Structure 1
Amino acid sequence: MDRFKQSNRANWDERAEIHAQDRTGFYAIDRFLAGEDVLYPIESAEIGAVSGLKLAHFQCHIGIDTLCLARRGAIATGLDFSPQAIAKARALSVRSGVQADFVEGEVYDAPDLLGTDFDMVFTSWGTITWLDDIRAWAKAIAGTLKPGGRLYFADSSPAIATHEEIDGVIRPHYDWRSAREKPQRFDSPTTYTGDETPLVTDFTYEWMRGTSDVIDALLRAGMQLDFLREHEVLPFKLFPMMVDAGSRMFQLPAGIPRMPLALSLGATKR
């Protein structure tokens, strides 16, 4: 594991400890334990029926979405590179009484770690920016799915991820593509949930890429695109100016030009 991934994993190990406590309610763990389905509205509306499907959740973090999908009837397995996140996910499975498997490992190794006969791969919110090889990601998806298996993906729009809010204005700030050996460094003393616990590893490395890179990688891997949609909401404040849109989602305030903040797609393995 290179120094970028080592640093990121240390950061995510720390975040897993903080997020599992969910002191701010960002992950709605108490609501989930009380029986509520806490998938965000975009994927909840688009994913379709999963009951009885063998489902792999890539980059599952502490497992809350994996367990929501299992509660919907999926035979779910979560995969994440953070051992602390996997430990928290397994503990949450026990606490909730919802059965799912959780495996520690790199997403690129998913076919070897999980198998090659899944009906669905699910991955959402804050995933591809952590990956240095989008084509290897797409190959892992295709390799994990059986023929006719489908992918559901939702994340920040790559087009908006290159922007920052500077002096109250959203401006282009980063190159739209990052070289594999030169990711963008981001410094943050705390995590994104609003919990003020200081992070020891208080920086991360992320890779910028275009929407075309994502689509091209999936097509090259043998996936057929079923739909591609853009959305004006996100489940987190990408920019400080964003305001509550309801249902644990955020949007740009009135008076700001509308922009695509999120992207979702479905694809099927040919």
Structure 2
Amino acid sequence: MDAFKLSNRQNWDERADIHAADRTGFYAVDAFLAGEDTLYPIEQAEIGDVAGARLAHFQCHIGIDTLCLARRGAEVTGIDFSSRAVAHARTLADRAGIAATFIEGEVYDAPELTGGGFDIVYTTWGTITWLDDIRAWARAIAGTLKIGGRFYFADTHPAAAVMEDRDGVLLPAYDWRSAKDTPQRFDAPFTYTGDDTPLATAHNFEWMRGLSDVIGALLEAGLRLDFLHEHELLPYKHFSIMIPAGRRMFALPPGLPRMPLAVSLQATRTR
């Protein structure tokens, strides 16, 4: 494992422990355990019927979304590279009394780890920025799906990802595309949930992506684009100036130019 991935995995092992404790309520763990469907509004509106489907959740983290999809009737398998995240996901499944499989591993290896033949591959919110090879990611999606199976994706829009909030003003701060060996380094003493537990590994490495990178990789891997949607909401405060917009979502405040904050898509494996 290279230094970038090793650092990121150490960072996410620490975050997983903090997120599972959910002292700030960001992950709505208590609401989930009480029976609430805690998927965010964008994917709730778009994922469609999953009852009876074999569903693989790439980069599942502590498994909340995976288990919500299981409650909707899917037969779920979650995959994550963090051993701590996988351990917490299994614990949450046991606490909720939900049948689910969780596997530790790289998403690039998902076809071999899962055996493939899935009806749905699902991945949302803060995922591809951690991956150094977008084409290998797309090939893994195709290899995990059966022919005719569908892929669902939602994440921060690349137009927002290049911006930074500097004293209430949004300014371009990052390149829109990263080479494999030159990711962007981010230093942060705490995780993004508002918990003030300090991180020992207080930095991570992320790869910037353009929409053409994502869509082009999927098309090249043998998927057909079914829809592409852009949204002016996010389920987290990507910028400090963002304001609550209902149902655990955030938007830019009035008076600023409108811009896409999130992107979602569905694609179907055709070959």
Q: TM-score range by the shorter chain?
A: over 0.9
Q: Secondary structure at the match of 2:69?
A: helix
How far is 1:7 from its partner? Answer: 0.1
User: Residue 33 of structure 1 aligns with which residue?
Assistant: 33
User: Residue 73 of structure 2 aligns with which residue?
Assistant: 73
How far is 1:167 from its partner? Answer: 2.3
User: Residue 139 of structure 2 aligns with which residue?
Assistant: 139
How far is 1:154 from its partner? Answer: 0.3
**Is 1:241 aligned to 2:241, yes or no?**
yes
Matches within 5 A, 1:1-270: 1-270=1-270
How far is 1:260 from its partner? Answer: 0.1
Deviations 1:37-91 (A, max 9, x none): 0000000000000000000000000000000000000000000000000000000
Q: Secondary structure at the match of 1:185?
A: strand
Separation in structure 2 between the aligned mates of residue 22 and residue 168 of structure 1, nearest angstrom: 28
Separation in structure 1 between the aligned mates of residue 22 and residue 115 of structure 2, nearest angstrom: 32
> TM-score w.r.t. structure 2 length?
0.99
Could you say what the CA RMSD is over the residues aligned between the two structures, in angstroms?
0.5
Q: Secondary structure at the match of 1:246?
A: coil
> TM-score w.r.t. structure 1 length?
0.99
Separation in structure 2 between the aligned mates of residue 167 and residue 42 of structure 1, nearest angstrom: 29
Q: Secondary structure at the match of 2:245?
A: strand
Deviations 1:215-254 (A, max 9, x none): 0000000000000000000000000000000100000001
Instruction: State the AA in 1 paired with 2:148.
Output: G
Instruction: State the AA in 1 paired with 2:267.
Output: A
Instruction: State the AA in 2 paired with 1:257.
Output: P
Separation in structure 1 between the aligned mates of residue 115 and residue 137 of structure 2, nearest angstrom: 15
Greater Cα offset, 189-198 or 165-174: 165-174
Instruction: State the AA in 1 paired with 2:212.
Output: S
Q: Secondary structure at the match of 1:84?
A: helix
Q: What percent of counterpart residues are identical? A: 70
Instruction: State the AA in 2 paired with 1:216.
Output: G
Work out whether residues 22 and 28 of structure 1, in 8 Å CA contact, stay in contact via their aligned partners in 2: yes
Separation in structure 1 between the aligned mates of residue 232 and residue 168 of structure 2, nearest angstrom: 19
Structure 1: gaps spanning 5 or more residues = none
Number of residue-to-residue matches in the alignment:
270
Structure 2: gaps spanning 5 or more residues = none
Instruction: State the AA in 1 paired with 2:262.
Output: A
Instruction: State the AA in 2 paired with 1:163.
Output: M
Work out whether residues 159 and 211 of structure 1, in 8 Å CA contact, stay in contact via their aligned partners in 2: no
Work out whether residues 78 and 101 of structure 1, in 8 Å CA contact, stay in contact via their aligned partners in 2: yes
Deviations 1:96-130 (A, max 9, x none): 00111000000000000011200000000000000
Divergent runs of 4+, >3 A: none
Deviations 1:138-166 (A, max 9, x none): 00000000000000000000121011011
Q: Secondary structure at the match of 1:264?
A: strand
